[in-house]
Amino acid sequence: MLSIFDIYKIGIGPSSSHTSGPMLAAYLFTTVNQDRIEDITSIKVELFGSLSLTGKGHHTDRAVMLGLAGFKPDTVKSHSANLLLKEIAGSNRLPVLGKHPIQFTPSQDIEFHRTSLPLHENGLRITAYDQHNILCTETYYSTGGGFISTEKELLNPIKKPKFSVPFPFNSAEELLYQAEQNGLSIGTLILKNELCFCGEQQLNDTTDKIWRVINKCIERGLKTEGILEGGLKVTRRAPALFKTLQANNDIDTDPMGILDWVNLYAFAVSEENASGGQVVTSPTNGAAGVIPSVLMYYNKYIRAIDNTQLKDFLAVSAAIGMLYKSNASISGAEVGCQGEIGVSSSMAAAGLTAIRGGSNEQICIAAEIAMEHSLGMTCDPIGGLVQVPCIERNAMGAMKAINASRMALKRNSKSLISLDKVIATMYQTGKDMNKKYRETSQGGLAVIHLSPPCE
């Protein structure tokens, strides 16, 4: 079983699979081999598939260098990271784990392959050498949401769960059955499972930390003006929209006015993510604006959210995320954006329905509706950047989640399509999707001619 905080992680933008995952893989490579660090004279990094095709725009090369130098996604500070990257660029030397400098020329020692490795679309291989021979090598796969696996782990998956939880489930049907048999809400069931991963105090503390990071991210996004780097010259829209809405707060006279604020919160987080800021992966960085936007919608316009409701929201939405991660995919490179924005919207719809008093069945109906109408969504970022169409797509995902929740809460009839069926359909749709629409920037909007061209 997965933990709530496997689904909700603190990381840096712009991508969980292309930035956070590779950084963590490089960090683990050096720590696993730290007893041999002094023997390392050079390191070669090979990026494959989507990590290569959109790696520049997603900062994969930078992430790997930071990981090799001892930085982790959940603790890295942007200022320190940028200083180190400048030092590496200027000296062609990289301090492995921050203490063993080696010769490292990014343009030569990071190789971008257009082909994919066999087990997943996001592959990377790291090889360390001594003076004469290969010292150690490892192949990693970044499977979405900051999750990584070695080649051995994917070929020989662990059969038994690391933690034995009181209410195990492998499908939405089993989740609903467990809840019904034990007289529990989905949120309470998941929180009881979570206590097998951490104590109650740690659960409360981590929940509070997640909420603090979300709020700080929104605050930064609302006040930081400028142009997002990468060559598209995309202007940050959140600060100007915020000023406009503050000056013309017409929610009382405009029935649709709240939607502008929902858009605003999604823009603020997504623009922070696009700039490499700290975000909550939920379940990916490319979709990191959906859930914060829906939470702020509830917090501002329904009632102030308290710790109990926040835990319920995170537990329920994480349960939905676990189902997608275990039975399908949350990787845009594997199944398109339906696996990122679609999953996040499905999670948000479920969480919102829970804290608005929905039944267990209504929670699953809301999650199903949000995904049913995200099926087939492509991942085709222009220039390999998490900017266009990604920023607006987060806002649309938030809107879809709110509407899906409202539909579910007002539904009296049974749903013809189960959540399990829509999860299976999403996965099959993604696998059938032409690879040029799966985070390769080789099709769809990504091939629109731009002048000047993206860097």
At 183-204, the pLDDT tens digits run 999 999 999 999 999 999 999 9
Q: What is the C-alpha separation between 42 and 433, in angstroms, rounded? A: 39
State residue 454's pLDDT score.
Answer: 43
In this predicted structure, the answer to whether residue 323 has a pLDDT above a threshold of 80 is yes
Strands 9-12 and 278-281: antiparallel
Identify the DSSP state of 454: P
At 235-291, the pLDDT tens digits run 999 999 999 999 987 777 888 999 999 999 999 999 999 999 999 999 999 999 999
Residue 102: its H or E element: strand 100-103
At 300-322, the pLDDT tens digits run 999 999 999 999 999 999 999 99
Tell me what the pLDDT averaged over the chain comes to. Answer: 95
Q: What is the C-alpha separation between 38 and 102, in angstroms, rounded? A: 10
Question: Per-residue b/e over 116-140, b at no fewer than 16 CB within 10 Å?
Answer: bbeebbbbbbbbbbeeeeebbebbb
In Å, the largest CA–CA distance within the chain is 74
Angle at 310 between CA 415 and CA 168, to 5 degrees: 60
State residue 83's pLDDT score.
Answer: 95
Contacts of 424 (CB under 8 A, 6+ apart): 327, 328
Q: What is the C-alpha separation between 336 and 308, in angstroms, rounded? A: 34
Residues in the chain: 455
In this predicted structure, the answer to whether residue 163 has a pLDDT above a threshold of 80 is no
State residue 161's pLDDT score.
Answer: 53
Contacts of 19 (CB under 8 A, 6+ apart): 11, 12, 13, 58, 59, 60, 62, 63, 73, 276, 285
State residue 253's pLDDT score.
Answer: 80
In this predicted structure, the answer to whether residue 359 has a pLDDT above a threshold of 90 is yes
| Six token digits for residue 413 | 């009839």
Q: Which of 113, 133, 179, 107 is closest to 41 using CA atoms?
A: 133
| Six token digits for residue 178 | 């467990």
CA distances from 70 to 157, 192, 251, 282 (A): 27, 35, 48, 24
DSSP state letters, 424-450: HHHHHHHHHS-GGGBSSSSSGGGGS--
| Six token digits for residue 434 | 């032409």
Q: Which of 92, 314, 334 is closest to 207 using CA atoms?
A: 314
Sign of the Cα torsion 48, 234, 299, 219 reads positive
Q: In the chain, how many H helices and how many E strands? A: 19, 9
- In single-letter form, the type of residue at position 336 comes to G
Contacts of 348 (CB under 8 A, 6+ apart): 290, 291, 294, 317, 370, 397, 398, 401, 402
Using a pLDDT cut of 90, give the percent of the chain over it: 92
Residue 174 burial (CB count, 10 A): 14
Q: What is the C-alpha separation between 238 and 224, in angstroms, rounded? A: 8
How confident is residue 96, by pLDDT bands cut at 50, 70 and 90?
very high
- Name the burial class of residue 373, with classes exposed (0-12), middle (13-18) and buried (19+) by CB atoms within 10 angstroms of its CB: middle
At 333-353, the pLDDT tens digits run 999 999 999 999 999 999 999
Question: Per-residue b/e over 324-336, b at no fewer than 16 CB within 10 Å?
Answer: bbeebbbbbbbbb
State residue 412's pLDDT score.
Answer: 86
Cα first-last separation, the chain:
41
Q: What is the C-alpha separation between 156 and 152, in angstroms, rounded? A: 6
| Six token digits for residue 409 | 């809460």
* Nearest-10 crossing angle of helices 290-301, 257-274: 140
Question: Are 370 and 346 contacting, i.e. CB atoms less than 8 angstroms apart?
Answer: yes
pTM across the whole model:
0.94
